[in-house]
Copies of this chain bind each other. A is one copy, B any other.
Amino acid sequence: MSSESKAMFTPIKGSRTFEEVSDQIKKLIFDGVFKPGDKLLPETELAQQFNVGRQSIREALRILELSGFITIQKGGGGGAVIKDTISSTISRLFLDAFQMEKITIEELTVARFEIEKTVLKYAIANADETDLKRLQENVDDACKKIEANINVIDENIHFHNLLARASKNHLFIIVVEAVTTAVRHFMRQLGPDAEFSDDKKWYNENIIQSKTTLAYHREILSAVIEKNLNKAVDTLENHLQEVKNRLQPFAR
């Protein structure tokens, strides 16, 4: 107990069986014993191996599932499969934070601009051919879909995730994905089901907005290719300012 003097407030293990089970499995994943794609034993066998009841196993699996370590499928041949979905798990919690009104649209917009500004700096420095190709495909794809009158919210959101990926910094990638997930959530609420706007009117406006966004994305991409940071940042600022106006209905 030599470390006991260090005054650390890490709480004592809750003495809960299912936590010990989930911790043990989590540790095996950290240590690489279980790799993505591996399938865990069925609940009944896990219960035997750990010498605990099935309920404890189930609650442990619930924890691992919600923490982004496994996915679970029902039915024959199903079961718990190791799969890394931590990023999307963090994004989901960010969305919860928004719905708990812990973050406002204003705060989101400010932080998003600042973070993506930094992302652009590193994207210009670190983007390789694959990144630029993905970004180019993204805008081309969005363009085609707009002409075919297909909604492009997902593509337009994904452009920002691709930019973050080009920065080669996984922390930025995770944070940007969390932010864009929240933005997409609000964007979807602006759909044709929203009050006082008939479908046709919304649809025309949506097309116009999509084209505007696409134009901004094209300009940002060309600025990244030219390695022109100032141009990229300026365009991003105008772009996000416009996005902010669109999200204004959710402002408090």
Q: Which residues of A contact B (CB under 8 A)?
A: 2-3, 6-9, 18, 26, 29-30, 55, 58-59, 62-63, 66-69, 84, 86-87, 89-90, 93-94, 96-97, 99-100, 102-104, 107-108, 110-111, 114-115, 118, 122, 150-151, 154, 169-172, 174-175, 179, 188, 191-193, 199
Contacts and interface: CB of A to CB of B under 8 A. Distances in A.
Contacts of A179: 171
A108 B169 CA distance: 8
A169 B108 CA distance: 8
The 8 closest A-B pairs by CB, nearest first: A111-B171, A114-B118, A103-B170, A107-B169, A62-B62, A66-B66, A30-B99, A86-B97
Nearest to A104: B170
A86 B68 contact: no
Nearest to A18: B62
Copies in the complex: 2
Nearest to A94: B90
Contacts of A2: 192-193, 199
Nearest to A117: B118
A200 to B, nearest CB: 12
Contacts of A111: 169, 171-172, 175
A7 to B, nearest CB: 6
B118 A100 contact: no
Contacts of A18: 62
10 contacts: A2-B192, A3-B193, A55-B58, A63-B66, A68-B96, A86-B102, A97-B170, A103-B171, A107-B170, A171-B179
Given A29-B100, A58-B59, 4 more contacts: A87-B102, A90-B90, A102-B170, A118-B118
A115 to B, nearest CB: 7
